[in-house]
Amino acid sequence: MLREMVRDFVSEFVEPQALEFDRDEKFNLDLLKSLGEMGLLGITASEEHGGAGLDVVATVIVHEELSASDPGFALAYLAHSMLFVNNLEFNGNDSQRARILPKVCSGEWIGAMAMSEPDVGTDVMALSTTAVQREDGSWVLNGRKMWITNGCLDDDGTPADVVWVYAKTGTDVKGKAEISTFLVENGMQGYSVGQKIMDKTGMRASNTAELVFEDCIVPADNLVGEAGDSLIHMMRNLEIERVALAAMSLGIARRSLDEMNKYATDREAFGRQIRDFGQMQRYIGESWAKYRAMRAYIYDTANNMGLGNAGQRLDSDGVKLFATTAAKEIADAAIQVMGGYGYVAEYVVERLWRDSKLLEIGGGTIESHQKNITRDLAKAPEVIND
């Protein structure tokens, strides 16, 4: 029922706007907010606070269906529903959830998560954004965050309504950086958009921005958990984030396969459908096998993953490592099958191909997944033979 509902929504509202919003690098804020009426903006949040209270499989379904039409729009949805709402649901306290979740689940507020910086990406412990506590318990944040999806909501530089921000608050007894989590809300002194990032290769239908925190005053109540708890928050949320990104890859792969398959029937060469030629059969056949492998691995991982905890890093990294690259390869094959038509925006697959590349970078690079998997297999080699 969920898949049918989202697929109908995509057909009626998402698909008609996808080409225009990609071409013009516009973010369809109203369309994203409308997902609140369907209960999807807080898909994993508790019903008590306006969420849908659904599981990881439901999360995969929504991201797959949205991405089969408009991955850029789906990325904005992921940044809101997974990077902010899911984070708050499982890491925030009762007061924070009661105050903020109803607003982000309804679409009144749009959220984002700010971790990457101009000079820091995968190396989280090297964050340079700092937070210093004042005598009254409030915090002063200083720093810049880069590549923030939903960081900017419009062309006027309006920042996200609320942002999940990671900042350095000191060092522990071993001299390692202590990273803490803050909820920064639009209107707080010192919080602004530095620049809206344009001319991206793909995901142009989502807004990407630099966020600036200049002597930004954050109330004591907006610290999430205790100082130094950020690594716990990251580990609780990274796994579902990566499975959702893999689900986006699945949507891209499915649509690309569908488009190339239809074209191979419609297009003729030398008096025959091009699907009769061995070269085309290789592209279609291998794409089908990759797509089905992606689907099986992603849904198996989702079915076995619990919300709000860690412990499935091997497979959350594994599905994203495999699916993101496979999606790019399938989109590339679709362009090759469709020739010149595949290379122009009207025929969708060139957009899917451009959008797919980010998924090998965002939410953890494929290199970081390779590193994590290799390390985890060294610690638990017995899982190979389970």
DSSP state letter for 257: H
Residues 246, 181 share a domain: no
Where among 180, 212, 228 does a domain terminate?
A: 228
Query: What pLDDT is stored for residue 108 in this prediction?
Result: 97
CATH number of the domain where residue 57 is located:
1.10.540.10
Task: Give me the chain's average pLDDT, please.
Answer: 95
Residue from 172, 193, 41 nearest 114 by CA = 193
Q: Are residues 215 and 279 in the same domain?
A: no
**Cα 110 → chain centroid:** 14
Statement to judge: residues 169 and 247 lie in one domain: no
- Interval 201-211: pLDDT, tens: 999 999 999 99
Final residue in a domain of this structure, among 210, 228, 246: 228
Residues whose CB is less than 8 angstroms from the CB of residue 385 and which lie 6 or more positions away in sequence, other chains included: none
Q: Please state, for a pLDDT cut of 90, what percent of the chain lies above it.
A: 88
**What is d(CA 41, CA 305) in angstroms, rounded to the nearest whole number?**
20
**Torsion sign across C-alpha atoms 240, 245, 248, 252:** negative
Tokens of 339: 């020739």
pLDDT value of position 265: 94
pLDDT at 42: 97
Q: List 148's β-bridge partners, or say none.
A: 209
Same domain as 204, residue 132: yes
Q: Is the domain of 257 the same as that of 188?
A: no
Q: Residues 272-314: pLDDT tens digits?
A: 998 999 999 999 999 999 999 999 999 999 999 988 777 789 9
What's the burial of 151, exposed, middle or buried (CB within 10 Å: 0-12/13-18/19+)?
buried
Provide the 3-class DSSP secondary structure of residue 381.
Answer: helix
Last residue of a domain, one of 66, 86, 110: 110
CA neighbours within 13 Å on the CB side: how many for 78? 34
Q: Are residues 104 and 134 in the same domain?
A: no
> Model-level pTM?
0.95
The predicted model gives 120-147 an average pLDDT of 90
What is the distance between the alpha carbons of residues 139 and 130, in angstroms, rounded to a whole number? 10
Q: CB burial class (10 A; 0-12, 13-18, 19+) of residue 321? A: buried
Q: Are 245 and 363 part of one and the same domain?
A: yes
Which amino acid is located at 87 in the chain? N
Per-residue pLDDT of 167-176, as tens digits, reads: 999 987 787 8
Residues 240 and 258 in one domain: yes
- The reported pLDDT for the residue numbered 224 is 97
Task: Kindly list the catalytic residues.
Answer: 241
On whether both 266 and 306 belong to a single domain, the answer is yes
Give 159's DSSP letter: B
With cut-offs at 50, 70 and 90, classify the pLDDT of residue 121: low
Q: What is the CATH number of the domain that holds 259?
A: 1.20.140.10
| pLDDT > 70: percent of the chain | 100
pLDDT (tens digit per residue) in 62-101: 999 999 999 999 999 999 999 999 999 999 999 999 999 9
pLDDT at 175: 78
- Mean of pLDDT values over 184-190: 96
Number of other residues whose CB lies within 10 A of the CB of residue 336:
16
CA–chain centroid gap for 103, Å, is 20
Domain that holds residue 310: 231-385
pLDDT at 123 over 90: no
Contact 79, 8 (CB under 8 A): no
238-258 pLDDT, tens digit per residue, is: 999 999 999 999 999 999 999
Out of 76-90, 112-126, 179-193, 273-287, pick the least confident.
Answer: 112-126
Work out how many domains the chain is built from and give that number: 3
Q: Are residues 245 and 377 in the same domain?
A: yes
19/344 Cα distance (integer angstroms): 11
| Amino acid (1-letter code) at residue 110 | I
Is the domain of 273 the same as that of 299? Answer: yes
Q: What is the pLDDT of residue 32?
A: 98
- pLDDT confidence of 127, banded at 50, 70, 90? confident
Is residue 382 classed as helix, strand or coil in its secondary structure? helix
Phi first, then psi, for residue 201 (nearest 5°) are: -60, -45
Q: How confident is the model at residue 322 (pLDDT cuts 50, 70, 90)?
A: very high
Instruction: For residues 338-354, give the mean pLDDT.
Output: 93
Query: Domain check: are 188 and 102 in the same one?
Result: no
The CATH number of residue 141's host domain is 2.40.110.10
